[in-house]
Amino acid sequence: MQQIAEILIWLPAILIGLTFHEYAHGRVAYILGDDTAYLQGRLTLNPLPHIDWLGFFMLIIAHFGWAKPVQVNPVNFNRNITMKQGMMLVSLAGPAMNLLLALAGMIALRILVPLQDNVWAGYVLALLIPLIQINLILAAFNLIPVPPLDGSKILAGLLPDAGTRLMYSLEQYGPILLLLLIITGVTGKILLPLVTILYNLLFNIVF
C-alpha cells in the first residue's frame, strides 16, 4: 500500500515533467518553422502521445526512464537561423521548460507553506515537492552533454563546426555511452551536484 501511495504521489509529477518537456521541444521547433511535431500530433499537453510505455514504467519502477522523443527536421527551419542554431534552441527548450515548472512549483510552495496546517494545502504540498524534484532531475539529466541527451545538441550548437560534427558523429554510440555512464555511476556523480546547484538557484530566487 505504501508503494502504491508513493506511485500515486509521484505519477502526476512524472507525467507533467515528461509531457511539458517534449511539448517544449515540438513547440520551439514549430516556431522555428518545422511542423514535424505538429503533423505527428505532438504539439499537445495530453501525456499519451508523448509516453514511451517501456520508458514510463522503467521510470516508475527503476527511477530511470524516458519519453518518446519529439522528431525534428532541421531542414524546415526558417532561413534566418542555421540548422545548428535551431537544433540548439530546440534542445534547450526541454530542460528550460522543466526549470520553469520547478520554479512555478517553488513559488507555489512558498505560498502554501504558511498554510500547511490546512488539510487541502497539505495535500497540494505533498504533490508539489515531487513536481519540483522530478523537473529538476529531468532538467539536470538532459543537460549532460552525452548523446542522445539534449545537452549534447546544446554543446554542439556552441562548438565550432568541427566540434559539432564530432558530437553528431557520436550519436550512433550515444545509447551505449549513456548506459555505461549510468551503470558505472558517473551520471549520478554529475547529476547530484547539478540538481543541488539548480535547486539552490531556484530557492534563492523564490525565498
Active site residues: 22
Query: Distance between CA atoms of 28 and 48, rounded to whole angstroms?
Result: 20
Residues with Cβ within 8 Å of 172's Cβ and at least 6 positions away in sequence, in order, are none
Q: 37 is written with which cell numbers?
A: 511535431
The beta-carbon contacts of 82-87 under 8 Å, at least 24 apart in sequence, are 84/156, 84/157, 84/161, 84/164, 85/157, 86/29, 86/32, 86/34, 87/153, 87/156, 87/157
Q: Which three cell numbers stand for residue 92?
A: 534547450
Burial class (CB in 10 A: 0-12, 13-18, 19+), 34: buried
160 φ, ψ to 5°?
-60, 165
